[in-house]
Amino acid sequence: MFDKWIKRSKEPKPKLQPSTSKIEKASGAEAASTNITAVPIGKSSPVTINFQRIKACPMCNTEYLNNNLVVCPKDRTMLLTPEIPNDWFDWREAAQSCPQCSALYYHFLSPTCPRDGEKLVPLGENPFDPPVLEGRFKLIGFVEKGDIFEEYEALDLGTDISVRLKIMGRHLGCDSRTVTNFFRYSRPAVGLRHDNIITAITINSTEEGLPYLITDNIPSRTLYQEFQKEKVFSPVYTRLVFTDFLKGIQHAHDSGIVHGAITMHHLFLEGDSDQPKGYVSNFGIAERLFRELDWTVASTDTHTANVYGDPTGMCPEFCKGKRPTPASDIYQLGCCLYQCLSGQVPFDRETLPMILIAHMTDPPDDIRKKNPQISAGLAAIVNRCLSKEPSDRFPSALALSQALASEVAG
């Protein structure tokens, strides 16, 4: 049943059209009705709901409650009867109810109930309870689908606060090694709290065995979404938002947690562009398949399948199969800084292998040629983040933040 709820919650919902119809009922004629029987999610016995059936003329848009009519008395057009699917998720958005007599109508264009003239209202809440995970998190609806997770809004019944549910896609969740590594690398970050971190509240598996992660549901947008609109950020705006990101990263490092996959898709902004607040999310969540990772294997297992993350922000040490460190996060933040300030990635190459080789061997493209307004000092900060040797980078996120604050005023 959980699978069915997930599938249906992602389907487009039909919309009710504004009413332009007339309702006519022949003398002595009774409305036909239809019973819908279905098993609610989480229940063992079926529930029956009665719908009032209507017939409509597609020519004059008149609806009839006379079950004996076959053609429209006005223009002799064949009357049509909307088919009511035997599934809650197919008709819930197109159903209306009468608050007076409790009659239910499906795709009914009239604004009032023909029985008592009461104004019809949308059916509203799902009478079939959606899944509740861990007896606490009630699913509300589908939000979006990413490379790794399908995301849903949920309600924490314990606190009455909205949260975000991230369920791993089946292309990953069906692989045992992927699931094992997901829990291994993601669980340490659960409960990590800071003003600039989107907290992972819990991590678990559904009844079907799909891993999921529940996080704070902060009304925010990704840094990448903002970048798509602005194309290039000013040094002042960049310093402002990265100060928040670096606070969150520093707190994670102080807690012994390394992000390992920092991209503009994992950095979030809340608020308007004048006073944004930055958040870091998805600690321990790699962009590539978890089953390609296993740092417990002998050092001979260092082929390129071990690298992970966004190739445009790939650390040189990842390309060599090494484990993420705080210095890796500094490098990836440097890639984000470079792109925010110049509008382009630091290693713009034609193919993926060429990009990976460039991360390992080439200096970054001169950022001041891409944006002459960048100061030499700010360019030096970005270049230090992108040093090939981890020891040559900033020693901490705090040190990077201080360097940005010293170089960029405002």
Going residue by residue through the chain (410 aa), what tens digit of pLDDT does each one get? 455 555 555 555 433 333 333 444 433 334 455 555 544 433 445 555 555 566 778 788 777 766 677 888 888 888 877 655 544 444 455 567 777 766 666 555 667 777 777 887 776 544 445 778 888 888 887 787 777 788 888 999 988 999 999 888 877 777 787 788 788 878 888 888 999 999 989 888 887 788 888 999 988 888 998 998 888 999 999 999 999 999 999 999 999 999 888 989 889 999 887 788 999 988 876 544 444 444 443 333 333 333 455 777 788 888 777 788 899 999 999 999 999 999 999 988 888 888 888 888 999 989 999 999 899 999 999 999 999 999 999 999 999 999 999 998 75
Domain closes at, from 71, 98, 122: 122
Q: Which of 194, 216, 238 is the last residue of a domain?
A: 216
Indicate if 145 and 79 belong to the same structural domain.
no
The pLDDT assigned to 260 comes to 84
Residues 136 and 114 in one domain: no
What is d(CA 211, CA 181) in angstroms, rounded to the nearest whole number? 11
With respect to residue 192, please indicate whether it lies within any of the assigned structural domains. yes
94 within a domain of the structure (yes/no): yes
End-to-end Cα separation, the chain, in angstroms? 55
Rounded Cα distance, 313 and 346, in Å: 8
Number of domains in the chain: 3
Does one domain contain both 143 and 23? no
pLDDT at 321: 75
Q: Is position 304 within any domain?
A: yes
CA 332/CA 263 separation, integer angstroms: 7
Q: Are residues 259 and 349 in the same domain?
A: yes
Whichever domain contains 181, its CATH number is 3.30.200.20
Q: Are the beta carbons of 36 and 94 closer than 8 angstroms?
A: no
Q: Are residues 91 and 146 in the same domain?
A: no
299 and 390 part of one domain: yes
Q: Is residue 165 part of a domain?
A: yes
CB of 14 within 8 A of CB of 94?
Answer: yes
Q: Domain with 320 in it: what CATH number?
A: 1.10.510.10
Same domain, 346 and 321: yes
Contacts for 140-148: CB closer than 8 Å, 24+ residues apart: 141/9, 142/6, 142/9, 142/10, 145/10, 145/169, 147/287, 148/172, 148/285, 148/287
Q: Which residues of 367-394 are buried (b: 16+ CB within 10 A; e: fewer)?
A: beebbeebeeebbebbbbbbbeebeebb
23 and 157 together in one domain = no
Q: Is residue 246 part of a domain?
A: yes
**pLDDT of res. 110:** 66
Cα 168–chain centre separation: 11
Q: What is the predicted pLDDT for the residue at 194?
A: 93
Residues 92 and 203 in one domain: no
266 in Cβ contact with 282 (< 8 Å): yes
Residues 116 and 160 in one domain: no
The pLDDT assigned to 30 comes to 45
A 10 A CB-CB count for 300 gives 7
AA identity, residue 160? D
> 197 with 151, same domain?
yes
Q: What is the largest CA-CA distance in the chain?
A: 90
- Give the gyration radius of the chain's Cα atoms: 28
Please report the pLDDT score of residue 237 as a whole number: 92
d(CA 386, CA 315): 9
Between the CA of residue 113 and those of 23, 32, 91, 110, what are the distances in Å? 9, 14, 18, 7
How many Å separate Cα 173 from the centre of its chain? Answer: 17
pTM of the model: 0.66
> For the CA atoms of 232, 235, 238, 244, what is the dihedral angle to 10 degrees?
180
Question: Kind and range of the H or E element at 3?
Answer: helix 2-9
Q: What is the pLDDT of residue 177?
A: 78
d(CA 264, CA 9): 28
pLDDT value of residue 290: 45
Residue 352 covered by a domain: yes
| DSSP three-state, residue 292 | helix
127 within a domain of the structure (yes/no): no
The DSSP code sequence of 267-286 is EEEES-SSS-EEEE--TT--
Do 257 and 321 sit in the same domain of this protein? yes
- Per-residue pLDDT, 41: 38
CA distance 107 to 54: 9
**2 dihedral zone (left: phi>0; alpha: psi -120 to 50; beta):** alpha
> For residue 118, what are the domain limits?
2-122
Q: Could you tell me whether strands 161-168 and 137-145 are parallel, antiparallel, or unpaired per DSSP bridges?
A: unpaired
Q: Of the candidates 122, 147, 171, which is a domain's last residue?
A: 122
